[in-house]
Amino acid sequence: MPPPDTMYCAQQINIPPELPDILKQFTKAAIRTQPDDVLKWSAAYFSALSKGEILPVKERLEVGQPSSATTQTSGLSPALLKVLHKQLSPQKSVSKSELQEKWRGLCLSSDHLDSLLSLGNFGDMVDWMEFFALGCSTLGGTIISALKCACEILTDDPEGSAAHIPYETFVSLYTYLARLDGDLSEDQINSFIQNLQEVAGGMVLPSDFTSLCGESAE
């Protein structure tokens, strides 16, 4: 079928005035986030934008290679876990379906998500901070490395500074991971927490707990 003979000019085409800025912000977000599947991520981006939700966007471009084989397989990174935390942490518990939706929106491996959900023995509702702890464990490898990662994601300190987090938050994350790991007794867990409280007080930073474990704070 031949195209219609209608001719269009600038006066006939209505361009919403906000469109250029929307496209500019979208382009900047895509460059920072570097999604593996641009179309899938774009759908999540504009869905969140239309609902006034937190966007699936990294704060800045991550530089460097994934730190582990698991990270390479899953696609999860500290910046992406931070995005998920911003999206889901306002709720103490999130539905499994909502977590799956946000996870897919960041183009992360569904197999890895299933593995984390199985490891945490989660049902239809997921305790967000417990899931967050498992995500940090994936990134860190050891409990101490996972907790250092958690401090860097959760802190309100400027990037590159001490990375303090509240003592209660740290204890909750440490206790969950230590019990799940199963290598430490309750006495060892409680002793570590007591010693940490004497060192750290109300706020904990990585050098507080790495020094107790004989690790470098670097």
The reply to whether 96 and 122 lie within a common domain is yes
In a domain, 200, yes or no: yes
What's the number of domains the chain is made of?
2
Domain finish residue from 139, 171, 188: 139
The Cα–Cα gap between 218 and 56 comes to 30
Residue-wise pLDDT for 103-146, tens only, equals: 999 999 999 999 999 999 999 999 999 999 999 999 988 899 99
Question: Of 184, 217, 181, nearest to 200 (Cα)?
Answer: 217
Query: With contact defined as beta carbons under 8 Å apart, do 130 and 176 qualify?
Result: yes
Query: With contact defined as beta carbons under 8 Å apart, do 102 and 68 qualify?
Result: no
* pLDDT beyond 90 at 4: no
Residue 57 neighbours by CB under 8 Å, 6+ apart: 29, 32, 33, 45, 83
Neighbouring C-alpha atoms within 13 Å toward the C-beta of 65: 4
In a domain, 54, yes or no: no
The reply to whether 183 and 172 lie within a common domain is yes
The Cα–Cα gap between 90 and 88 comes to 6
Domain finish residue from 139, 163, 192: 139
The reply to whether 123 and 77 lie within a common domain is yes
Mean pLDDT, residues 149-154: 94
Residue-wise pLDDT for 32-88, tens only, equals: 999 999 999 999 999 999 999 999 999 988 876 455 555 556 689 999 999 999 999
Query: With contact defined as beta carbons under 8 Å apart, do 112 and 81 qualify?
Result: no
The reply to whether 85 and 104 lie within a common domain is yes
Query: Residue 218: pLDDT band by 50, 70, 90 thresholds?
Result: very low
In a domain, 105, yes or no: yes
What's the pTM?
0.85
Q: pLDDT higher for 15 or 64?
A: 15
pLDDT for 72 equals 54
Radius of gyration from C-alpha coordinates of the chain: 22
The Cα–Cα gap between 37 and 107 comes to 6
Q: Which domain holds residue 80?
A: 67-139
The reply to whether 109 and 120 lie within a common domain is yes
Domain finish residue from 139, 168, 197: 139
The reply to whether 128 and 154 lie within a common domain is no
The Cα–Cα gap between 127 and 23 comes to 35
